[in-house]
Amino acid sequence: MNLGKKVIYQIYPKSFYDSNGDGIGDLRGIIKKIPYIARLNIDMIWFNPFFVSPQHDNGYDIANYREIDPRFGTMADFEELVAKLKKINVDVMLDMVFNHCSTGHEWFQKALAGDEKYMKYFYIRPAKPNGDLPTNWESKFGGPAWAKFGDTDLYYLHLFDPSQADLDWHNPDVRQEAVDIVNFWRTKGVKGFRFDVLNVTGKDEVLVDSDGNIDHEKALYTDTPVVKDYIKQLNRESFGQDPDAVTVGEMSSTTIEKSIEYTKPDDHELSMVFAFHHLKVDYENGEKWNKVPFDFMKLKRILNEWQAGIDRGNGWQALFWNNHDQPWALNRFGDPVNYREKSAEMLATAIHLLRGTPYIYMGEELGMIDPHYYSIHNYVDVEALNAYQEMMDNGMSAHDAFEIVKTKARDNSRVPMHWDDSQNAGFTTGKPWLKPTDQDQINVQAELDHGEIFNYYQQLINLRKTEDLISDGHFKAELEDHPQVFAYRRYLDDSDEQLFVLNNFYGYEPWADIPADLQNKEVEVLIDNYGEPRKMQLKDAIRLQPYQSIAFKIK
């Protein structure tokens, strides 16, 4: 299996297509849209969780790992979905959320009832002698990471929402549960597994206070050596038994070195990692809840370092701009107003011609953008609402806090897929759980009829399948100091062919120098968002159009 030839599409089931008018996307809705999916020629679909869940964190709070939440459908629907996708050669990747489970899960409920076996599934600790919480850790969604354990004097750890209790992976029974769940879904024909925040499962048995610095605090529970043992066990006892399995570890705040360790084939751990550093370039001092323009040079530096580093270490990485936790990249790094199509295509090219496995988040292929909401009441995500409150508690005005929520909320990308220009964007006949906006401009019907982004994605996907330079080539950064252009080269060990890619991240027309060894060469333009594939002669420089991407194949 060549991971470099694969392209993965991400579906957020709640927002893809609603088949029964309750305003929530569902599995039957996805089945209905298989003909649409088939047009993209992708290889696998990653589905965000649709297991039984109280939905405090939209399904990342799982109460039963082996059953479909009735609001999304039934096991029979799931089996039909897998079978029908198989017919178009698309495999299924499921989201395995094992760092924590819902406090509604029977494990937690039994623990609450005093069952000692299940109390050992969680981090349950007494307060400090002075009455303080067991540690001073913060939850990633704001507030302390400890909550009262029922009516006792004890507390349980939750790195995320209080409804998401951290599972104690030291306990072999917990690891066995994870193995069994993966194997359960393997028997249903599932080939792919995404492991949610996998690199924070290695907490120490004795939890200690941090010095208050958030990076130091994360280091206490992130990427500890034992995580590798846990992954090796999962691999050995579950997915590793399937040579076609594709796995991705969502790795919070990880490093290049760690990512190599998790993914180099000899270690038998994971196929690839999701790392997020390139998406933190519009943060201020590491803090997400700010509104600052993105730092292009930093973005380039991070992409270049990760590409070259992972390549050197023989690791493998997931390539992506968007997912259900991120506002649309088009709003952050492109120009959705003046150059929506060109900048969407440029962003796609920049990522798709890199070394790794690209992920496309549903709607990205239409150039979807952040919704235009005018009230905080349009937002529903726990993270956004907590952050809004916290910003105001710290003295910010409601207006300023709202402006930040607008650009940073995860709801931005969770807005229902736009199928047509009707009131609910053709997503539901009922009341959508999140309100779509701008579907009069951006929707599947219009895109397939006269848009250019969808077609451009098809070209990128097909190029990856046909060009070994894209799927297998090494990476070399080019024009590293250029203030507008992200450029790189791809090359193979056993061939003279090379790929040279230029991506203009701005709405004006910079010149880009052509590296000396490529000058005066007869080249093939493989893809260009301003023109057709063609032959041409490279000179010593080229002038790029606004948000132009162009890739040359040199023989």
Q: Is 97 in the site for ligand TEU (CB under 6 A)?
A: yes
How many of the chain's residues bind ligand TEU (CB under 6 A)?
13
CA-to-CA distance for 522 and 535, rounded, in angstroms?
7
What's the token pair of residue 208? 């200690």
For Ca ion, the closer CB: 77 or 381: 77
Identify the residue among 252, 349, 413, 548 touching ligand TEU (CB under 6 A): 252
For ligand TEU, the closer CB: 24 or 97: 97
Residues 220 to 239 in contact with ligand TEU, rule: CB under 6 A:
none
Tell me which of ligand TEU, Ca ion, none is bound by residue 160, counting a contact when its beta carbon lies within the kind-specific cut-off of 5 to 8 angstroms: ligand TEU
Between the CA of residue 120 and those of 174, 197, 481, what are the distances in Å?
Answer: 9, 21, 53
The least distance separating ligand TEU from the CB of residue 339, rounded to whole angstroms, comes to 27
Q: Is 429 in the site for Ca ion (CB under 5 A)?
A: no
The least distance separating Ca ion from the CB of residue 72, rounded to whole angstroms, comes to 8
Q: Is 384 in the site for ligand TEU (CB under 6 A)?
A: no
What's the token pair of residue 465? 């399948």
Q: Is 383 in the site for ligand TEU (CB under 6 A)?
A: yes
Between the CA of residue 193 and those of 276, 314, 400, 470, what are the distances in Å?
Answer: 19, 21, 39, 24
Active-site position among 250, 341, 447, 467: 250
**Candidates 18-26, 48-56, 116-124, 343-351; binding stretch for Ca ion (CB under 5 A):** 18-26
Q: Is 26 in the site for Ca ion (CB under 5 A)?
A: yes
323-352 footprint of ligand TEU as x/- string (CB under 6 A): -xx---------------------------
The least distance separating ligand TEU from the CB of residue 271, rounded to whole angstroms, comes to 18
Query: Is 509 noted as a catalytic residue in this protein?
Result: no
Q: Name residues whose C-beta falls within 8 Å of residue 91's C-beta, 6 or more positions apart in sequence.
A: 43, 44, 45, 85, 190, 191, 192, 244, 246
First to last CA, the chain: 26
Q: Is 18 in the site for Ca ion (CB under 5 A)?
A: yes
Q: Is 22 in the site for Ca ion (CB under 5 A)?
A: yes
Axis crossing angle, helix 256-263 with helix 226-237, rounded to the nearest 10: 30
For ligand TEU, the closer CB: 160 or 475: 160
For ligand TEU, the closer CB: 196 or 468: 196
For Ca ion, the closer CB: 53 or 271: 53
Neighbours of 283 (CB within 10 A): 15
CA-to-CA distance for 97 and 165, rounded, in angstroms?
11
Residues for the chain: how many in total?
555
- Scanning 20-148, the segments in alpha helix (DSSP H) are 27-32, 34-38, 75-87, 106-112, 116-119
Q: Return the residue nearest ligand TEU (CB atom).
A: 60
Neighbours of 167 (CB within 10 A): 24
Answer positive or negative: Cα dihedral of 95, 101, 105, 106.
Answer: positive
What's the token pair of residue 538? 């490279």
Backbone angles phi and psi of 436, in degrees to 5: -75, 150
| Nearest 10 degrees: Cα torsion 277, 282, 286, 287 | -130
Q: Is 196 in the site for ligand TEU (CB under 6 A)?
A: yes
Binding interface with ligand TEU (CB under 6 A): 57, 60, 97, 140, 160, 196-197, 250, 252, 324-325, 383, 410
Q: Report the catalytic residues.
A: 196, 250
